[in-house]
Amino acid sequence: MVTWKMKCSTCCLLAYRSDHNETRKLNCSERIMWKYSPDSDPALCIYPVNLGDEGNYTCEIVSSAGTFLFFSSLTVIVPPTVTLTCNRSRVAVCQASAGKPAAEISWIPASNHSTEEEVRHPNGTVTRVSYVDWVNSTLPTVTCLVTHPATNQTLSLDLS
């Protein structure tokens, strides 16, 4: 018998009993299923994954050889939406919205005069905004570098 338990005892339970060729699914979303066939491969599949799926998972296998427990932790990474704009005061604004974890923002050419804001959202994502003042700059463009585990992006803006 193979049983997957998600997060807590009252949450999703996905089970397979080989001697009866029987599967059970309790309190599980339709996105949670067996990756292949539970009799040949008891791997779990969550598709599409979302932030609510993050947490701890336990797989219990019971056979004539004994009971075996396997633990897994799922961390969901969300790429940010990235924008680069310039306001009327010639301030470049680079925004990395709703990423998880928070994105890192840097500038080319490098600037010691950038300021940053961060907003943490209830769903665990983070929006970061970086501002650089280019009022006295003679540079034709500014480039924003956004670094994140899911994606790296480079956006350039014409300052002329």
Looking at domain 2-74, its CATH architecture is Sandwich (2.60)
Angstrom distances, CA of residue 71 to CA of 4, 37, 56, 63, 114 = 10, 20, 7, 18, 43
* Whole-angstrom distance, CA of residue 32 vs CA of residue 84: 37
Give pLDDT, residue 94. Answer: 96
pLDDT tens for each residue of the chain, 160 residues long? 888 888 765 688 889 988 888 888 888 888 998 888 887 888 999 999 989 888 899 999 988 899 999 999 999 999 999 999 988 888 899 999 999 999 999 998 887 788 999 999 999 999 999 999 877 777 788 899 999 999 999 999 887 7
User: What is the residue extent of each domain of the chain?
Assistant: 2-74, 81-158
Give pLDDT, residue 101. Answer: 96
Looking at domain 81-158, its CATH architecture is Sandwich (2.60)
Is residue 146 within 8 Å of residue 101, measured between CB atoms? no
pTM, two decimal places: 0.78
Q: Do domains 2-74 and 81-158 have the same CATH topology?
A: yes
Tell me how far apart the terminal alpha carbons of the chain are, to the nearest angstrom: 68
Point out which residues pair with 99 in neighbouring strands: 126
CB atoms within 10 A of CB 134: 19
Q: How many Cα neighbours within 13 Å face the side chain of 143?
A: 7
> Regarding beta strands 151-158 and 81-86, do their DSSP bridges make them parallel or antiparallel, or are they unpaired?
unpaired
Give pLDDT, residue 109. Answer: 84
Give pLDDT, residue 10. Answer: 65
